[in-house]
Amino acid sequence: MKEFELIRKYFSERGPKRKDVVLGVGDDAALTRVPQDKLLVIATDSMVENTHFFPDTSPRSIGHRCLAVNLSDFAAMGAEPAWASVAITLPTVDEAWIEEFANGLFEVAEYCNVQIVGGDTTQGPLAVTVCLKGFVPENKVLLRSGAKAGDWIYVTGSLGDSALTVASKLNKINVPAGLLAQAEQKFNFPVARLAAGQVLRRAATSAIDISDGLIQDLSHILTASKVSAEIDVASLPISSAVTASLDEDSAIVMALIGGEDYELLFTLPEEQKGYLEQNATAMGVDFTCIGQIRGGDNGISLVKAGDKYPTPNMNGYQHFSSEEN
Amino acid sequence: MKEFELIRKYFSERGPKRKDVVLGVGDDAALTRVPQDKLLVIATDSMVENTHFFPDTSPRSIGHRCLAVNLSDFAAMGAEPAWASVAITLPTVDEAWIEEFANGLFEVAEYCNVQIVGGDTTQGPLAVTVCLKGFVPENKVLLRSGAKAGDWIYVTGSLGDSALTVASKLNKINVPAGLLAQAEQKFNFPVARLAAGQVLRRAATSAIDISDGLIQDLSHILTASKVSAEIDVASLPISSAVTASLDEDSAIVMALIGGEDYELLFTLPEEQKGYLEQNATAMGVDFTCIGQIRGGDNGISLVKAGDKYPTPNMNGYQHFSSEEN
């Protein structure tokens, strides 16, 4: 396992060196300092070959995504990331692979000022588990449980690119090459909406990141907040690659149930609409109002041009699925 | 993936409920409170089938070990464990397997008052990654780097049971059934020396847990502390199962290089010997002086009855190996 020792050193000598890290890689555990009056935030996500990525996925994308999906959980809570532990399981030591994986990982780590403080390197089937730690002020954390009847429902960015990429890879949909490249970029290199999370923690009543698909993730908010929702499917910010590749109804379904877009879904009281507009630039991403929270426990009602719209079959594109936290 | 949702709920409703957990499983991330004036401690270890455990290993042992090996890192730092994230990758949903895995995990979690605050459940080859978090007073943390020339070298418990178990499983050694059961118990259900770590953080100058084998782990202390060491192999606390199964020299070699015993190796100044004796009961485990720290960077010298003893081939029993932190 000398080779794995080298890998660990490779990873331990790159990326941001934060002042709140007392001891990084190299002892039995890492030691860090959490600011007073802040809560520690902890998120964990695994990525496993053939479940979360295809065997031909570039190692740079795997390195990028394994950190980005955890950062997306932080964005959804309005939290600030700080330190990550990276556990990698590799069948063999392929230096070119490791270099590209590290490039993808550290591009994201540098951008978000996250220090890799430890982890584990083992031999076995290809998989990566990242445990991300950071902090949030206790009275400003964004939870899933605060949505109130009357709140407006928003989503950042656009929807469906990741589902389109997966469907194309599985030869279920024929996507024009230029549009596919655009969708693949979103799937392979998702950008966590951290700036938006920071803005929203002063205004939104609830938030979640869209990893399992809009309908499924909205359901999590509704269950936690004990409310219902009405979504106008005509207002969904569907990715242009999706609308160009599918008929209208199929595109709507893909935007509703496609996973892994890592956009934020949030609820906003009427009186905070002005604040959101004023801070549109600070959000760092477009946002779209797609519906409204209702009382009761009636789940999600879909409408289009005032008429009821059918609820899609939830198993449509869920080939790659993940359970979070 | 509904089945995996059920697993997650199964895990989230068991074990200790700590007051310092603001939000456990169920949102995008967990929220906890770190005591003021303490550092956050973070350890991560993966266990992968065919690398860290045999395919016929009981799921209860896997559940026990995946947490215990991280607790052992905490013991080696004198740290107090608090919260764990558990990422499990499973090929299929086998409820009997999961129940026994959870039984093993929660037996350890209950005993050490560790709350499972999150994780991930995914489909793929069997593997578990635990990220353990907790805390330690800043001025009392046990590092690898504090050993001084003249300090005495100690080890807790006994050595070689795990290596004996692995060698027996691989049919390299014939071990009598009663002794094998004793060795297997130590391999399958290691006990982290947390109480010893708490005692030692007031007295020891350095510590590490023996996961890679005595010689390799002692080397980590020597490198970090820039010192050398002399070990009297006649004083090694070799497991009775090992001494009964092997000739004397083979037993010594197994105790020197066998991994996964999860005992503590620590260095103690002469003037702290009295403190250690006074707190022998609080240590919760026997301890044995096996040598002394020397100046310089000459590595490890082995002696027996005053004569030089040959350094063993390091690749002898390292079939199952792990890289820590």
A222-269 residue pLDDT tens: 999 999 999 999 999 999 999 999 999 999 999 999 999 999 999 999
Smallest Cβ distance to A41: which of B1, B31, B77?
Answer: B31
Chain B residues whose CB is inside 8 A of the A132 CB are 29
How many Cβ atoms are within 10 Å of A291's Cβ, its own excluded? 23
- Average pLDDT of the segment spanning A124-149: 96
- Average pLDDT of the segment spanning A190-197: 98
Q: Which CATH number fits domain A2-140: 3.40.50.720, 3.30.1780.10, 3.30.1330.10, 3.40.640.10?
A: 3.30.1330.10
- Coil, helix or strand at residue A122: strand
Hey, which residues 88-117 in chain A have their CB within 8 Å of chain B? 89, 117
Chain A residues whose CB is inside 8 A of the B119 CB are 44, 325
Q: What pLDDT is attached to residue A135?
A: 97
Assign residue A78 a region: left if phi > 0, alpha if psi is -120 to 50, beta otherwise? left
Measure the CA–CA gap between B107 and B191, rounded to whole angstroms.
11
Q: What pLDDT is attached to residue B320?
A: 38
Residues contacting residue A111 through CB under 8 Å, at least 6 positions apart:
none
Chain A residues whose CB is inside 8 A of the B224 CB are 26-27
Sheet of A30-32, strand order:
A21-23, A30-32, B38-48, B127-137, B80-90, B115-123
* Most distant CA atoms of chain B, gap in Å: 65
* Ranges assigned E (strand) in B13-126: 21-23, 30-32, 38-48, 80-90, 115-123
| Identity of the amino acid at B236 | L
B34 at A interface, C-beta within 8 A = yes
Measure the CA–CA gap between A316 and B2, rounded to whole angstroms.
15
Chain A residues whose CB is inside 8 A of the B315 CB are none
Would you give per-residue pLDDT tens digits along chain B (325 residues)?
A: 465 666 666 787 789 999 999 999 888 899 999 999 999 999 999 999 988 888 899 999 999 999 999 999 999 999 999 999 999 999 988 888 988 999 999 999 999 999 999 988 889 999 999 999 999 999 999 999 999 999 999 999 999 999 999 999 998 899 998 999 999 999 999 999 999 999 999 999 999 999 999 999 999 999 999 999 999 999 999 999 999 999 999 999 999 999 999 999 999 999 999 999 999 999 999 999 999 999 999 999 999 988 999 999 775 444 334 444 4
Hey, which residues 256-315 in chain A have their CB within 8 Å of chain B? none
On average, the pLDDT of chain A sits at: 92
The annotation status of A144 as a binding-site residue, yes or no, is yes
Q: How far apart are the first and last CA of chain B?
A: 31
Measure the CA–CA gap between A284 and A22, rounded to whole angstroms.
32
CA distance A243 to chain B (A): 28
CB A143 within 8 A of CB B23: yes
Which residue stretches of chain A are H helix?
A: 2-12, 59-77, 95-112, 161-169, 177-188, 194-200, 214-225, 240-245, 248-257, 273-278, 280-283
- pLDDT of A313 above 90: no
Beta-bridged to residue A265, according to DSSP, are A155, A208
Hey, which residues 117-156 in chain A have their CB within 8 Å of chain B? 117-125, 127, 129, 131-133, 136, 138, 141, 143-145
Q: What pLDDT is attached to residue A316?
A: 42
Q: Judge: A323–B32 Cβ closer than 8 Å, yes or no.
A: no
Chain A residues whose CB is inside 8 A of the B318 CB are 1
- Coil, helix or strand at residue A232: strand
Measure the CA–CA gap between B155 and B263, rounded to whole angstroms.
7
| Identity of the amino acid at B198 | Q
Smallest Cβ distance to B120: which of A45, A119, A138?
Answer: A45
Sheet of B21-23, strand order:
A115-123, A80-90, A127-137, A38-48, B30-32, B21-23
Question: Is the fold of A2-140 the same as that of A152-308?
Answer: no
How many Cβ atoms are within 10 Å of A123's Cβ, its own excluded? 19
Give the CA dihedral B95, B100, B103, B105, nearest 10 degrees.
-100
Segments making up each domain of chain A, as ranges:
2-140, 152-308
Residue A318 pLDDT class (50, 70, 90 cuts): very low
Whole-angstrom CA distances from A304 to A218, A234, A318, B190 are 18, 6, 24, 60
Smallest Cβ distance to A29: which of B120, B123, B325?
Answer: B325
What's the helix, strand, coil split of chain A in %, to 5?
Answer: 40, 25, 35
Assign residue B14 a region: left if phi > 0, alpha if psi is -120 to 50, beta otherwise? beta
Q: Judge: A122–B36 Cβ closer than 8 Å, yes or no.
A: no
Smallest Cβ distance to A87: which of B32, B129, B138?
Answer: B129
Pull the structure tokens for residue B4: 């995996």
Hey, which residues 41-80 in chain A have their CB within 8 Å of chain B? 41-46, 48-52, 73-74, 76-77, 79
CA distance B314 to chain A (A): 12
- Average pLDDT of the segment spanning A66-83: 97
- For domain B152-308, is the CATH number 3.40.50.1820? no
Measure the CA–CA gap between B27 and B4, rounded to whole angstroms.
16
CB B211 within 8 A of CB B259: yes
CB A75 within 8 A of CB A196: yes
The annotation status of A316 as a binding-site residue, yes or no, is no
Residues A62, A65, A69: CA angle, nearest 5 degrees:
145
CB A238 within 8 A of CB A255: yes
- pLDDT of A74 above 80: yes
Residue A94 pLDDT class (50, 70, 90 cuts): confident
A3-58 residue pLDDT tens: 566 666 678 778 999 999 999 988 889 999 999 999 999 999 999 998 888 889 99
Beta-bridged to residue B27, according to DSSP, are B25
